[in-house]
A and B are shown apart, each in its own frame.
Chain A
């Protein structure tokens, strides 16, 4: 069934179709419509879930963790300051192996107060052990929530489904809403092997000495390493059921490309228009949109850049004192590869400043003027 909906409602529909059983959330702009629609669905009975209207995001994640360890499929959504407040509990969810799925609307961190898009909120959480999916369309949001539950529950690792503030959260698009029966077949009920129950009384997450802690984290890393293949596999399965492929990367006109933009989120769709224009002007351009940031698809990125002559990473984020964050990861993916292309780093669109087709053309012009990459980050559209 096709429906016109905003990105936030796409998250709600994803959570509903996945048959989330417990939702605990706290409102924050620009996430509010996600929880408003979910509370309506819970109230009218179309979603058989408990909605806990907690008093903070910290409590939201704590409640999600509690519900998840009790064996319930659990969803929440937040943004920026809310995600930062959850930070402690993000480590808890991943370290405790609780497959909570969370929508995060990418919003810039205060101060100054901003409700507009950039990725520093979610990327500040990159080392918490959560999987991170970056979406570029409302269709992808609905589909990815469903897939994320499947992957997370198989590996017992939580996941964030991430979308840009306003550029996606409040933008209406046509979404082909997956059929519930097909979703149920794709995503069976959550049945964890170990859960919190008096029938099998265990103490979870107790004091762990140095003789055990490292092995437990080793297991998390080993399972995270299984995720790229599982995301590809469940993506193919998804394509079989629903006709849409979900993968780690979205390559646009990359097959014969000599120059590629490397992007994430909605900027990845804007880049396509720039690619078309560049092609019309005789440049063999392409766009490689990275959909999954954690686990980082190192091998797949390396492979995608094999025949490329130059790549420009456009980051809607900045690790102050270092570089754009996707830029660092892409560089490390190709490091030491014979014939690896020069990779240039650009920062654009912080605090919700638009990343336009012209922004990408500016990136392309700069990149082509450079013989080789240097350590400089190039800021696009900044008034210096």
Chain B
């Protein structure tokens, strides 16, 4: 679902809005990566591919691509749970440069 990266929805008139108050799109238009002050960086050289970072990500903005964790910085809010929980300590939080 995350891969959709939906666009913002703009209704030009009341007519365009469904009669019932209901969603017509998903939240992926909202790039929460902008909230981040610190960013996680994974040293795959030290990664033991346990999947714990993926498991505990509350966004979830860590994907498993070809058996490796990959962070989607468009959405990662920089909470740091992945770095805290990583058993091999291969994730470090570094200051975000804007």
Indicate if A touches B (C-beta under 8 A).
Answer: yes
The answer to whether A97 touches B20 (Cβ under 8 A) is yes
Shortest beta-carbon distance, A214 to chain B, in Å? 9
Contacts known (A212-B11, A218-B14, A219-B14); A204 close to B19, Cβ less than 8 A: no
The answer to whether A202 touches B11 (Cβ under 8 A) is no
Is B65 engaged at the interface, CB distance under 8 Å to the other chain?
Answer: no
- List, in ascending order, chain B residues with CB within 8 A of A223's CB: 19
Is A203 engaged at the interface, CB distance under 8 Å to the other chain?
Answer: yes
Is B34 engaged at the interface, CB distance under 8 Å to the other chain?
Answer: no
Is A215 engaged at the interface, CB distance under 8 Å to the other chain?
Answer: yes
Q: What residue in chain B is nearest A222 (Cβ atoms)?
A: B14
Interface centre among B11, B14, B20, by most chain A C-beta atoms within 10 angstroms, is B20
Partner of B18, one of A69, A194, A206, A222: A194
Partner of B21, one of A96, A193, A218, A222: A96
In the assembled complex, the Cα of A295 lies from the Cα of B24 at a distance in Å of: 30
Shortest beta-carbon distance, B30 to chain A, in Å? 13
In the assembled complex, the Cα of A97 lies from the Cα of B22 at a distance in Å of: 11
B interface footprint on A204-230 (CB within 8 Å = 1, 0 otherwise)? 111010001001101100110000000
The answer to whether B17 touches A212 (Cβ under 8 A) is yes
Is A14 engaged at the interface, CB distance under 8 Å to the other chain?
Answer: no
Is B23 engaged at the interface, CB distance under 8 Å to the other chain?
Answer: yes
Shortest beta-carbon distance, B13 to chain A, in Å? 8
Shortest beta-carbon distance, A90 to chain B, in Å? 16
Interface residues on A, range: 20 to 34
Interface residues on B, range: 10 to 19
Is A349 engaged at the interface, CB distance under 8 Å to the other chain?
Answer: no
In the assembled complex, the Cα of A212 lies from the Cα of B19 at a distance in Å of: 12
Partner of B23, one of A193, A203, A216: A203
Contacts known (A202-B24, A212-B11, A215-B11); A97 close to B17, Cβ less than 8 A: no
In the assembled complex, the Cα of A205 lies from the Cα of B18 at a distance in Å of: 12
Interface centre among B17, B19, B21, B24, by most chain A C-beta atoms within 10 angstroms, is B21
A interface footprint on B60-81 (CB within 8 Å = 1, 0 otherwise)? 0000000000000000000000
The answer to whether B19 touches A97 (Cβ under 8 A) is yes
Shortest beta-carbon distance, B70 to chain A, in Å? 27
- List, in ascending order, chain B residues with CB within 8 A of A218's CB: 14
In the assembled complex, the Cα of A203 lies from the Cα of B13 at a distance in Å of: 21
- List, in ascending order, chain A residues with CB within 8 A of B22's CB: 194, 202-205
Residues of chain A touching chain B, judged by Cβ–Cβ distance below 8 Å, are 69, 95-97, 156, 193-194, 202-206, 208, 212, 215-216, 218-219, 222-223
Can you list 25 contacts pairing A with B, beta carbon distance less than 8 Å? A95-B21, A96-B20, A97-B20, A193-B19, A194-B18, A194-B20, A202-B22, A202-B23, A203-B22, A203-B23, A204-B22, A205-B21, A205-B22, A206-B21, A206-B23, A215-B11, A215-B13, A215-B14, A215-B17, A216-B17, A216-B21, A218-B14, A219-B17, A219-B19, A222-B14
Residues of chain B touching chain A, judged by Cβ–Cβ distance below 8 Å, are 11, 13-14, 17-24
Extra contacts besides A202-B23, A204-B21, A223-B19 (12): CB < 8 Å: A69-B20, A156-B20, A194-B20, A203-B23, A204-B20, A215-B14, A215-B17, A216-B14, A216-B17, A219-B17, A219-B19, A222-B14
Q: Which 9 A-B pairs give the minimum distances between C-beta atoms?
A: A215-B14, A202-B22, A203-B23, A204-B22, A202-B23, A97-B20, A205-B21, A194-B20, A218-B14
